[in-house]
Structure 1
Amino acid sequence: MIKRVKKILITGGASGIGAAICRRMSNRDSLFLVHTRANKAGLEKTIRDIEKNGGRADAEFADLAVKGAARLLIQRAIEFLGGLDVLVANAGYALNTPITDVSDEDFETAHATIARSFFELATAAIPHLEKSNCGRIVGVSAFGPHVWRTNVTPFAATAAAKASMEITAKALALQLAPSGITVNLIAPGFVRKDQKAHVAISPETLDKLIAEVPMGRVAEPEEIASAVAFCASNEASYITGQIIHVNGGLV
């Protein structure tokens, strides 16, 4: 059985993959600070689920596209958690627009929300993770930087931001390896969303996307959460600098 960590900060934890990660990693020995930008109802449900599993949690609202907001989130986490064992960077920005139609503002927002916030979170967390005996940074990337198809519109701006996040993670993994802190990314394929469904994808496009998956289906959020939980565990102590693809066989 995977031994779960205790003091956890997760961004984007109010729904979908983030909420599933909280459910998967919560137990009576876990303490969470769960972030969302504005989904109060979703965050409250996530916290109830954590508590149902025996864990404890508090909520924090922040727009990570704002410069410095991610660093402040780390400060808030340390105040509540009293330390940090695991940082899970899951906040995203889904923009299903052809790259030539992406505005400067949207491109910058995607980069700020995904790539810059990951850099701010990770670098601010390092001094605290160094005090843990199981320091883990786990980011949720995407298939976008790796898998391209001509018959569907890619999330180009999102993919560009995720690619920057991946390079940052590899650089951090290399530098932090001597300290024992690991840095890994999970790259999901298409994942089933909550009841709002794929708000950035039409049903017709979603059917085309599923047809591209060798397993013939989208992933459940829990399948992504299991990969995140493993990378955050003691069992993954010799795995760092890796991008683990959980995508049903997309190549």
Structure 2
Amino acid sequence: MSRVVLVTGGTRGLGRAVAARFRASGDTVIITGRDESRLAATAEEIGAHSAVCDGADPRQVARLAGDVGPELDVLVNMAGANTDLASAAGEDDALEQVAAAWRANLDANLLSAVLTSTALIGKMRRGGSIINVGSIGAEYASTSYGAAKAALAAWNAGLSAEVGPKGLTANVISPGYIEGTDFFRGQLTEQRRTALIAATHDGRPGHPDDVAETAWFLASPGARHITGQTLHVNGGAHTTR
């Protein structure tokens, strides 16, 4: 049976790869984004439906919930980015810059997932999956981005307990360095790239398909007893036991 899958932030990078993977399985996929033209182009390319939505805006999320339809099987909360602002000159506004950077990252990486999940849980069918996308940065949390992703993982543990009785799972995928995205906005030096790859055990950068296949597995029948977990997809750059 074809599932209904919603991927927020599905216009490029990891979100696009995840959406394309579910489409390849014959699922009905809806992607969201804030850039209407890019959203429409991506949806046409991969054969998905589209809905313009800023996940940190409660009114837009409420509208999205109405647009999705009566039933949903998989929710992938991919929307988010490192929104750290460029440092400003001058000491007088230094604290304002810090506050803005933290609020922006919390909105993009935590609040968007919380609002979207809250709005859509009631539509999800038993056997469904909520997949939140975190980051290896959560293991250090020295920045507003890392702290927001750490909060996402902590929230997911409680979400799993909440939705488990409804027959749903909730997990986090935590990627390490992934090539083929614009995460670093062109600011990744070759020295830094070499260091990130050297930190892995398998000696290679991640690829969007690594995350997409993990998301597909977490939504599959074989993963029904995996919930409340953070799955690290980083080639061993961060290990758990």
Query: Would the TM-score normalized by the shorter structure come out above 0.5?
Result: yes
Distance in structure 2 (CA, Å) of the matches to 1:156 and 1:39: 30
Q: Which residue of structure 2 aligns with residue 122 of structure 1?
A: 117
Aligned residue among 46, 52, 57 for 2:42 = 46
Confirm whether residue 143 of structure 1 aligns to residue 136 of structure 2. Answer: yes
Paired positions, count: 230
Q: Report the AA paired with residue 59 of structure 1.
A: S
Aligned residue among 98, 105, 109 for 2:104 = 109
The TM-score with structure 1 as length reference comes to 0.82
The offset of 1:73, in angstroms, is 2.1
Unpaired stretches in structure 1, ≥5 consecutive residues: 52-56, 149-153
Distance in structure 1 (CA, Å) of the matches to 2:61 and 2:37: 18
Change (3 A) 1:126 1:213: same
Distance in structure 1 (CA, Å) of the matches to 2:208 and 2:235: 13
Conserved in 2, the CA contact under 8 Å of 1:14 and 1:39? no
Q: Find the residue that maps to 1:85 and give its secondary structure.
A: strand
Match runs of 1:1-251 below 5 Å: 6-27=3-24, 29-38=26-35, 40-41=37-38, 43-51=39-47, 57-78=48-69, 82-95=70-83, 103-129=98-124, 132-146=125-139, 148=140, 156-194=143-181, 198-199=184-185, 201-203=187-189, 204-251=191-238
Distance in structure 2 (CA, Å) of the matches to 1:126 and 1:197: 29
Distance in structure 1 (CA, Å) of the matches to 2:203 and 2:36: 31
Instruction: Supply the RMSD in Å over aligned alpha carbons.
Output: 2.5
Conserved in 2, the CA contact under 8 Å of 1:5 and 1:86? no
Unpaired stretches in structure 2, ≥5 consecutive residues: 88-93
Q: Find the residue that maps to 2:108 and give its secondary structure.
A: helix
Q: Report the AA paired with residue 47 of structure 1.
A: A
Residue-by-residue CA offset, 1:172-203 (whole Å, 9 max, x unaligned):
10122122110011000000124x57316322
The TM-score with structure 2 as length reference comes to 0.85
Higher relative contact order (CA 8 A, sep 6+): 1
Change (3 A) 1:23 1:109: same
